[in-house]
Amino acid sequence: MTTERTYIMIKPDGVQRGLMGDIIKRFEQKGFKMVAMKFMQPSEKLLSEHYADLSKKPFFPGLVKFMATSPVCCMVWEGQGAVATGRQMLGETDPAKSKPGTIRGDFCIHIGRNICHGSDSVESANKEIALWFKPEELVDWTPTEQQWIYE
């Protein structure tokens, strides 16, 4: 079985709305394994680095400023197809285009308050995980239910 890791971040609006438990529960219920989590107040410098690919977009300054307004919940999830499945679970970036049953489809209305970030490729997941976590913060473990999730 080939597994991969993805980076999922609950943004300030998700934290302030008390949705962390609901979001974590969905990833656990899906069968993904959490290998790291931290609750932190990110600096604008860290956020600018994280969103560097969007730095030329007109909304970039507002995005960084918003993301620095409140703590975020940073997580690394592992499993087969974790990146693509994680993105499907989150729904479209624009919540108005997200299907019911997705995180954004169930909990969001406006694109500027879409409560979560999820890596869009294995490459970006690896980069984001390295940006937000030290190697020693990633826990290698085997959940007992793994035998009930994978053949």
Provide the annotated binding site. Answer: 11, 59, 87, 93, 104, 114
| Active-site residue flag, 117 | yes
Which residue of the set 33, 64, 117, 125 is catalytic? 117
Q: Torsion angle of alpha carbons 26, 42, 84, 139, nearest 10°?
A: -70
Q: Walk across the sheet containing 4-10 and list its strands.
A: 33-40, 72-79, 4-10, 116-118
Concatenated DSSP letters for 84-98?
HHHHHHH--SSGGGS
Q: Can you say which residues are annotated as belonging to the binding site for ATP? A: 11, 59, 87, 93, 104, 114
Residues tagged active-site: 117
